[in-house]
Amino acid sequence: GAGVSQTPSNKVTEKGKYVELRCDPISGHTALYWYRQSLGQGPEFLIYFQGTGAADDSGLPNDRFFAVRPEGSVSTLKIQRTERGDSAVYLCASSSSGGSGNTIYFGEGSWLTVV
């Protein structure tokens, strides 16, 4: 597609429930990133994929968070047993492997509210 696409744009869920957030990167971009942004803060890195594999998952806060990218394009961020502190905007971004290199382009984000 023309840009990074994320769904859902908004999600309200109850504490303890399971949530999946989807990201469709820019066509041809091999690198995909998940960030989380809370109010008044900059984006906080969660996980980075190069192709199908997670090249760096050091930003995942705990084992309730997991992400996959099985075919090297679409990625899903999965959050188990959601907590109110998980409420944030979850931003997906992608970049190509050459040219301007690591210039990353963001999607519009998935706004998650845990009540």
Partner 1 sequence: QKEVEQNSGPLSVPEGAIASLNCTYSDRGSQSFFWYRQYSGKSPELIMFIYSNGDKEDGRFTAQLNKASQYVSLLIRDSQPSDSATYLCAVNVVGGNTPLVFGKGTRLSVIA
With CB under 8 A as the contact rule, the residue among 36, 65, 82, 109 that binds partner 1 is 109
Q: State residue 85 phi and psi, 5-degree precision.
A: -70, -10
Rounded Cα–Cα distance for residues 18 and 77 (Å): 11
Q: Which is nearer to partner 1, 19 or 91 (CB)?
A: 91
Print the binding letters for residues 80-99 with partner 1: x by CB under 8 A, - otherwise. Answer: -----------x---x-x--
Report residue 114 as tokens. Answer: 């845990």
Distance in angstroms (rounded) separating the CA atoms of residues 52 and 30 = 9
Binding site for partner 1 (CB under 8 A): 30-31, 33, 35, 40-45, 48, 50, 55-56, 59, 91, 95, 97, 100-109
